[in-house]
Amino acid sequence: MKNRLIQTIKNTIAILCLGIFLYILYNFNVRIPCAFKTLTHLDCPSCGISRMCVALSHGDIKSAFYYNQILIFLTPVIVLYYIFYQIRYIRTGQRKISSLENNIMIVLIVILIIYGIVRNLPFYPYRLP
């Protein structure tokens, strides 16, 4: 159990370090272009997520909502999903997801696909520049 806890802490620290690194890059005006948008000229479901995270880090919820409307609501769900997954791994060593977790992930993916379609409709009010 101790080894699993250490591994989980290392993984979480790696994710946080990546986030901090991307935040620093963003503040130095280094932008990572979206491959989907570059190829198709359409907004993917995660387009605007960097700007959303920076706006959230400054406490600007209105701007964060403008940049990505769905991930404002899904981020807490995804974070909780990650936390419960890691807690189960630490306690039991089990990495296989349950049918409930699988269904939650399917619902999240379907929501993101629908959002990706809707945000590219011509009448969608929150078009990214």
**What is the residue-level pLDDT of the chain in tens, covering all 129 positions?**
788 888 888 989 998 898 888 888 877 887 778 888 889 888 888 888 888 888 888 899 998 898 888 988 998 888 998 898 888 888 888 888 889 889 999 999 999 999 989 988 888 887 776
- One-letter amino acid for residue 88 of the chain: R
pTM: 0.75
The answer as to whether 44 is a domain residue is yes
- State which residues form the domain around 58: 2-118
Distance CA 20, CA 23 (A): 5
From its phi and psi, is residue 2 left (phi > 0), alpha (psi between -120 and 50) or beta? alpha
Tokens of residue 93, six digits: 């060593």
User: Would you state the pLDDT for residue 88?
Assistant: 87
Domain-located, residue 126: no
Q: Considering the domain boundaries, does residue 124 fall inside one? A: no
Instruction: Count Cβ neighbours within 10 Å for each residue of 50-83 and write b for 16 or more, e otherwise.
Output: bbbbbbbeeeeeeebbbbbbbbbebbeeeeebee
Quote the number of domains for the chain.
1
What pLDDT is stored for residue 129 in this prediction?
Answer: 65
